[in-house]
Amino acid sequence: MSGLKIKQEWMQKTVVVWFGALLCCLLWGSAFPCIKIGYRLFEVDAADTASQILFAGCRFTLAGVLAAGIGSVMEGCFLRPERKAAKEIIWLSLLQTIIQYFFFYMGLAHTSGVKASVIEAVNVFIAILVAGFLFHQEKITSRKITGCILGFAGVVLINLNGMNFQFSLAGEGAIFFSTIAYAFSSVFVKKFSQKFNPVMLSAYQFIIGGIVLMAAGGVMGGHITKVTPSGIGLLVYLALVSAVAYSLWGILLKYNPVSRVTVFGFMNPVFGVLLSALLLGETDQASGILGLLSLLLVSVGIYVVNSGK
């Protein structure tokens, strides 16, 4: 049996998919409170969208450098950007970093974090539908749709305390647009990683996307005036979150159906709420029966999508 076949079979094992995807979601979930802490350390105002975009650009540029370093260690040689993959890298940088985060931060300035979490969870539905109907990467079944509905219900439930039904194009509309971009990026990662190293794609799309976001934030008037060792340490952690989580997510997507991996995305806001309670003392959503029911619904939804029944 070839080494590639062994790697493929290993990456498709249920325990590997569950552990790897949950690790990614735990890392992404930790980013929610850590970004808030980062704003405090760098003295970035909650309403200063330009400086937030500049901060995101610094984070993702560093994430790309770290991902390239991780990939180089894994490959045993310097992980160069492949010339043949230039178009794919640019597409991913547009969808996964530039468009997604530009509109996410713009929308977040005009809506609540609670509503943003719920809207972002829609990306699981969109990714599965796009993978099935547009790219024909897998079959859409009632089991997958049922699992997604259960998972989405869990996300709504844990955010129920802060929900309202107001809608604005600059707020909720921008968040939804960023969600669409991220959903398409998951499908493209699956497609592009069949030909190219997913860690290489992740690293260099981050570098390009991060530089563009830094430039956009600077042009919009963003600035970071206070820099401390603790702030730099947190920025490095956030960069590592992106570098490790997106690289591992890309590897999982390479060897598994989109639905099997992306459904774990429902855990992002759940981990975000739980870790916000732990790190920031924001316990309103995480405590009580709603938090437990939410975790149960999300877990059952993930199981349903990944089960054969």
**pLDDT tens, residue by residue, 208-259:** 999 999 999 999 999 998 899 999 999 999 999 999 999 999 999 999 999 8
Span 22-71, pLDDT tens digits? 999 999 988 888 888 888 899 988 789 899 999 999 999 999 999 999 99
How many CB atoms are closer than 10 A to CB 158?
Answer: 27
CA distances to 32, 95, 102, 157, 163 from 177, rounded to whole Å, are 19, 10, 10, 23, 19
Residue 286 has pLDDT above 60, yes or no: no
Cα Rg, the chain, nearest whole Å: 19
Count Cβ neighbours within 10 Å for each residue of 15-46 and write b for 16 or more, e otherwise: eebeebbeebbbbbbbbbbbbbbbbebbebee
Q: How confident is the model at residue 1 (pLDDT cuts 50, 70, 90)?
A: very low
Model pLDDT, residue 6: 66
CA distance 152 to 141: 17
Q: What is the mean pLDDT of the chain?
A: 87
Model pLDDT, residue 190: 92
**Is 288 exposed, middle or buried (CB count within 10 Å of its CB: 0-12, 13-18, 19+)?**
exposed
The contacts of residue 13 (CB under 8 Å, 6+ apart) are: none
Model pLDDT, residue 167: 73
- pTM reported for the whole predicted model: 0.87
What is the helix (H) or strand (E) element at residue 6, kind and residue range? helix 3-11
- Better-scored residue on pLDDT, 295 or 25: 25
Residue 164 has pLDDT above 90, yes or no: no
How many CB atoms are closer than 10 A to CB 279?
Answer: 14
What is the helix (H) or strand (E) element at residue 50, kind and residue range? helix 49-75
Residue 195 has pLDDT above 70, yes or no: yes
Task: Tell me the average pLDDT across 180-197.
Answer: 92
At residue 251, what is the residue type?
A: I
Residue 2 has pLDDT above 90, yes or no: no
